[in-house]
Amino acid sequence: MRVIEQSRLWFREGASDKVYEIDLVEVAANQYVVNFRFGRRGSALKDGTKTALPLSLDKARVVFKKLVDEKLAGGFQAGTPPAASAPVVSTPAPSAPPISASGGGGAPPGGGGPYRGGGGGPTDPRRRKKDEVIAILRAGPGVGTEIGRAVWHAGDMDLTEAEPYLVALFDKSVPKYLSKNGAARWWHTVISALVRCGTRASLPRLERILAEPAYEPHAKDITRIAIARIDPARGLELARSRLPATILAPFDAGSAHELAIATEKLIGENPAGARSAVNALFLFPRSSPLHASRTSRTTRRRSCAWCSAWRR
């Protein structure tokens, strides 16, 4: 295994300080994959791959460049980030808390995290960013590129408040700044955001995507992941429907080990035909004993790993 090309990206805004690492890796003669890692700087990074199966070098470079470009468009920057400056903390003059009718001290409303309601007043930069994203999504696609970044931020920040506006995008036209061939990428981006911030309210629209022929196979793959994250029981149903008859037995028996072996065998014998089975591994909820099948070293190395989309 040999790393052919790497890209190290970073994003810093307000309290957010993240890194995104992308590798173009040679796994065998004329076989290349594109892997990535991401997370908060200094923490354990989550990993995944953009290649379901090894590609030729030319095709892998296209995947690599596309991923780098997408992250740069979303606000990431290349190179080494500048040293973080120590925040300047001012000490406001103490003020008395509001007095309730019962005579006790009042408490601020909300109390949630920085994005999930409450937390931060109108001058809080995190709150302002959330409000900005929601405003752009509410306005819908226009002539600029802001909508694409807003969709990306909605998923990145787990903005459940953005869900109705993301769902509404399916009934609107593709942004004008995208080329005529950019529709597939656009829908993939919107669905990926719903993986992170969708709730049961999104399920009817997500189910319709699976039934509509206009959506590309990869968009339907990520749609199944979104459905499985929101409704684990439905995720298991979708997983079973994607498995060929040859490996249904270990699935029905609940044997993660046997399912991993059967899937790896299928990959070796028929890589193209194994695609749906490999994707099914990522529909198992963490509570399922079958979840361990997707952590097999061979399966992880040789199959598609949309781990980032699945993780909350």
Tell me whether residue 136 is in a domain. Answer: yes
Short-list 183, 235, 239, 176, CA closest to 212: 183
Tell me whether residue 102 is in a domain. Answer: no
Tell me whether residue 182 is in a domain. Answer: yes
177 and 248 in a single domain? The answer is no
Helix (H) or strand (E) holding 6: strand 2-13
Identify the domain containing residue 59 by its residue range: 2-78
Written as tens digits, the pLDDT of the chain (312 aa) is 688 999 999 998 878 889 999 999 888 788 898 999 999 888 888 888 888 778 899 999 999 999 998 888 888 898 877 766 554 444 444 443 443 333 333 333 333 333 444 445 556 677 788 888 899 998 888 756 788 888 988 888 888 999 999 999 998 888 877 766 678 888 888 999 999 889 999 999 999 999 999 888 888 999 999 999 999 999 889 988 888 887 888 888 888 788 888 888 888 887 777 777 878 877 877 666 666 555 444 444 444 433 333 333
Would you report the helix, strand and coil content of the chain in percent, each value rounded to 5? 50, 15, 35
pLDDT in tens, 78-97: 887 776 655 444 444 444 34
**Cβ contact 304:49 at 8 Å:** yes
**Cβ contact 39:18 at 8 Å:** yes
**Residue that finishes a domain, picked among 163, 197, 230:** 230
27 and 125 in a single domain? The answer is no
Tell me whether residue 64 is in a domain. Answer: yes
What is the rounded distance in angstroms from the CA atom of residue 27 to the CA atom of residue 130? 41
Based on the number of CB atoms within 10 Å of its own CB, is 235 exposed (0-12), middle (13-18) or buried (19 or more)? buried
Residue 250 structure tokens: 């270990």
Tell me how many domains the chain contains. 3
**Residue that finishes a domain, picked among 230, 261, 286:** 230
What is the rounded distance in angstroms from the CA atom of residue 192 to the CA atom of residue 170? 13
258 and 219 in a single domain? The answer is no
What is the rounded distance in angstroms from the CA atom of residue 67 to the CA atom of residue 48? 12
Task: Spell out a b/e string for 19-36, using b for 16 or more CB atoms within 10 Å of the CB, else e.
Answer: bbbbbbbbeeeeebbbbb
